[in-house]
Structure 1
């Protein structure tokens, strides 16, 4: 499963699947996918939530 880490600035807010992160942050899992997109990262001025896709372990 794909694991994400969600940051706001340099602070780590949560880690887990998109669904788990969404539940923790009270947003839809599609929002986590958007936070991980290049479009969202280009708009970031340092104060937005940004998700990073972590290395996927072979299961």
Structure 2
């Protein structure tokens, strides 16, 4: 059985939530595909281009 990843979501420097992709999506009130998009390079470029303070950052937490 494949392991599910754990992700941390931040808005700027503020921690929002921690959990699986589905848990984060449920907490944010969006679809899992939207959280996946938040991890994409395209979304990262959009935020850095406009220097938006409310830009979401999704980081996968690595296992040891």
- After TM superposition, is the score higher than 0.5? yes
2:58 aligned to which of 44, 51, 54: 51
Would you say how many aligned residue pairs link Structure 1 and Structure 2?
57
Partners of 1:35 and 1:48 in 2: CA distance: 9
Bigger radius of gyration, 1 or 2? 2
State the secondary structure of the residue aligned to 1:40: helix
1:24 to partner: Cα distance: 0.7
Q: Gaps (5+ residues) in structure 2?
A: none
Q: Gaps (5+ residues) in structure 1?
A: none
- RMSD of aligned alpha carbons: 1.3
Mean CA deviation greater in 17-26 or 46-55: 46-55
